[in-house]
């Protein structure tokens, strides 16, 4: 733009501020690993029952489109991407509607139902964490071919990597199936998972990754499914599961401190989603919610994936009144509140 004496100064200042903001932004892409809390639709092309690429999922997403996100709308990586000045939705790597040009500013490798433990991904035949890593290596090569090696390496090292998983290791694996219970006490299993998490982060580091936000477990005893099963305690939260989540998160925090000391140049942060979600669950009206014990979809007690049916007359009409969308996953509104709680820390640490 050529400036003249008649150019409004407010416009000049505004354009300069935009340019400065773009220049100062040190996160060119958001790259995601994990489970259904952050899966943007990779399970759509996997032979699994754990999918959400049909209505009513996505009914509040742009265009009312079910994308494979386990919510009525957007999920945390989408809001984080937008907050960093990037696109408002991070696409799934396996979605054929997108290519490397789309993935250059953000990509999701997450798979609903997966965990740190490979045995967890076997339960519902989803993508194990090691395979998410293989897809990431493939992505690195595609990105280098697309923008050149130097530019790609800059993007890969400056990108913010989000990791969110662990709940399935306990609720779909350890507490349901006998194998891991016969091998580990719950505390030993926590330690086993921490070891796997550390190894995964070290592998990412060896591939040039330097900025990671690691999300621990939510108050998993308060998920509608667990409350529905807790009949003897009047469908209250299962405190045993919440205690395990807090224990595990404490161990994750200690892992973060160790790895930051161990790996030069690593900037690893622990994102505490437990506290804000627990506050929402305990005092929902403060956040504008009416329903917390049951979810919006169908009866709101046990349904998710294909059991979450658009045809069920019990599915709520306004998801903004509900903390949870289905028996396991938050609504878009809850996701947004959680990100708003975390985003100032992320922006301050990574920009």
Residues marked as catalytic: 36, 326, 329
Cβ–Cβ under 8 Å, residues 164 and 31 = no
Largest CA distance in the chain: 79
Q: What is the spatial order of strands in the sheet that 30-34 belongs to?
A: 106-108, 30-34, 160-164, 211-215, 267-271
Residues 6+ apart with CB under 8 A from 262: none
CA separation for the pair 272, 121 (Å, rounded):
24
- Coil, strand or helix: which one is 6? coil
| Peptide bond connecting 56 to the previous residue in cis, omega within 30 degrees of 0 | yes
Listed in sequence order, the residues at least 6 apart from 196 whose beta carbon sits closer than 8 Å to its beta carbon are: 116, 117, 129
Supply the DSSP symbol for 124: T
CA 270, CA 258: separation in Å to the nearest integer? 12
H-only helix segments in the chain: 9-24, 76-83, 100-103, 118-123, 129-147, 149-158, 167-168, 178-183, 186-206, 224-229, 239-262, 273-282, 332-350
């Amino acid at each position: 733009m050529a400036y003249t004496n008649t150019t409004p100064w407010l416009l000049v200042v505004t354009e300069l501020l935009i340019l400065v903001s773009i220049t100062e932004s040190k996160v060119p892409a958001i790259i995601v690993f994990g489970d259904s809390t952050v899966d943007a639709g990779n399970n759509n092309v996997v032979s699994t029952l754990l999918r959400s690429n049909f209505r009513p999922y996505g009914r509040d997403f742009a265009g009312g489109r079910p994308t494979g996100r386990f919510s009525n709308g957007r999920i945390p990586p989408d809001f984080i991407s937008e907050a960093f000045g990037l696109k408002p939705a991070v696409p799934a790597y396996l979605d054929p509607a997108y290519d490397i040009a789309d993935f250059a500013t953000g990509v999701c490798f997450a798979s609903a139902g997966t965990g740190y433990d490979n045995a967890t991904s076997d339960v519902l035949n989803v993508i194990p964490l090691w395979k998410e890593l293989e897809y990431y290596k493939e992505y690195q090569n595609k990105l280098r071919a697309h923008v050149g090696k130097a530019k790609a390496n800059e993007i890969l090292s400056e990108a913010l990597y989000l990791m969110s998983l662990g709940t399935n290791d306990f609720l779909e694996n350890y507490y349901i199936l006998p194998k891991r219970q016969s091998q580990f006490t719950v505390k030993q299993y926590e330690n086993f998972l921490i070891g796997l998490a550390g190894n995964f982060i070290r592998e990412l580091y060896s591939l040039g990754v330097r900025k990671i936000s690691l999300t621990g477990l939510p108050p998993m005893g308060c998920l509608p499914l667990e409350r529905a099963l807790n009949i003897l305690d009047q469908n209250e939260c299962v405190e045993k599961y919440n205690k395990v989540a807090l224990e595990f998160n404490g161990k994750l925090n200690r892992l973060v401190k160790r790895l930051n000391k161990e790996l030069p140049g690593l900037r690893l942060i622990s994102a505490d989603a437990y506290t804000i979600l627990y506050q929402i669950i305990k005092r929902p009206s403060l956040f504008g919610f009416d329903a917390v014990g049951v979810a919006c979809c169908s009866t709101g007690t046990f349904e998710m994936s294909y059991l979450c049916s658009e045809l069920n007359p019990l599915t709520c009409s306004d998801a903004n009144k509900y903390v949870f969308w289905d028996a396991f996953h938050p609504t878009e509104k809850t996701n947004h509140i959680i990100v708003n709680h975390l985003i100032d820390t992320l922006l301050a640490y990574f920009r």
